[in-house]
Homo-oligomer: A and B are copies of this chain.
Amino acid sequence: MITKDTRFLIVGLGLIGGSYARALSKQGFSVDAIDLQQESLDYAKAQGMIEHGATLGNELIQQADVIILAVYPNAILPWINQHQSLIKTNALLTDVCGVKQGIVEDVQAILRSDLEFIASHPMAGKEVSGVQYADDTIFHNANFIITPTGKNTISAIECMQELAKLLGFTNISILDPMEHDKMIGFVSQLTHAIAVSLMNTNDNTHLVDYTGDSFRDLTRIARINEVLWSELFFMNKDILIREIEDFVAEINHLKNTLQNNDEKELKRLFVQATERRKLFDR
């Protein structure tokens, strides 16, 4: 359970780690942070987002009750390997990573038996990175997904639900890691793959004067952090490839409909898309 004495440690003080720090410190909790960049720590301290910050931070690790790994996906396992000997008995660990399979099981397999790692995914972000953009309002109206495995306890799940509420999330759900990754493959990764590919289809930048809101909305997410997103894409590669194939089959079907002058089928496709999209209106 989270109490007012719970000490949080955030490892990796970027946009998401910083936004966690801001939300938790606003609520009066003690928040410490570890980051490779001293200036990120200095900024967060000056802003009152953290109490203590360190680039190595062995003492901060020893004191922490809840450790939030807000680093790039590929850095999670090595960090645990290297530092878990320092962690307090019964501490709870979580992450913020956008893909779950390939992390959760691997971490749980090597973790000390008196510690618990429960994976979670705050579905929020911005098209910028860095602690200076930290902003906990991005969590409001966003989804927080907890992805427990058979190794997790009920109390850890409840603790994560509490954490999500403290961070300001309104929609909190629990999904199996595989279901999570399938969902994210469609809802998030396929959409990013489409936006990126649309921007890369020929060099159409000379059309900037003619583009309206539709094109801008569709390509907003084509501004993308290439290091983070290449890790996420490769981690979820099999699912994403399948989603791209399904989508390509669908748009090729629309193309064939045009080629065959099949007006009836084209209208059916439009009507079906319109009907489905209505469900997504807020």
User: Within 8 Å of chain B (Cβ to Cβ): is A241?
Assistant: yes
A186 cross-chain contacts in B, Cβ below 8 A: 201-202, 204, 207
**Overall SS of chain A's interface:** helix
User: Within 8 Å of chain B (Cβ to Cβ): is A107?
Assistant: no
The distance in angstroms between the C-alpha atoms of A221 and B38, with both chains bound, is 45
User: Within 8 Å of chain B (Cβ to Cβ): is A79?
Assistant: no
The distance in angstroms between the C-alpha atoms of A210 and B184, with both chains bound, is 9
A241 cross-chain contacts in B, Cβ below 8 A: 255, 258-259
The distance in angstroms between the C-alpha atoms of A51 and B192, with both chains bound, is 49
The reply to whether A142 and B212 contact each other, CB–CB distance below 8 Å, is yes
**Chain A, range 250-282, C-beta contacts under 8 Å to B:** 250-255, 258-259, 261, 263, 266-267, 269-274, 276-280, 282
Interface pick from A7-15, A40-48, A111-119, A223-231:
A223-231
Give 6 new A-B contacts, CB below 8 A, not counting A186-B204, A193-B251, A233-B266. Answer: A123-B212, A196-B270, A197-B273, A199-B272, A201-B250, A217-B218
Category for how many chain A residues contact B = 35 or more
The reply to whether B269 and A196 contact each other, CB–CB distance below 8 Å, is yes
The reply to whether A218 and B200 contact each other, CB–CB distance below 8 Å, is no
A234 cross-chain contacts in B, Cβ below 8 A: 258, 261, 263, 266
The distance in angstroms between the C-alpha atoms of A194 and B199, with both chains bound, is 13
User: Within 8 Å of chain B (Cβ to Cβ): is A159?
Assistant: no
The 5 closest A-B pairs by CB, nearest first: A226-B270, A197-B251, A199-B273, A196-B273, A217-B217
The reply to whether B142 and A229 contact each other, CB–CB distance below 8 Å, is no
Minimal Cβ-Cβ distance residue in B for A256: B241
The distance in angstroms between the C-alpha atoms of A9 and B58, with both chains bound, is 78
The reply to whether B216 and A218 contact each other, CB–CB distance below 8 Å, is no
A279 cross-chain contacts in B, Cβ below 8 A: 205, 208
A237 cross-chain contacts in B, Cβ below 8 A: 258-259
User: Within 8 Å of chain B (Cβ to Cβ): is A124?
Assistant: yes
The reply to whether A245 and B250 contact each other, CB–CB distance below 8 Å, is no
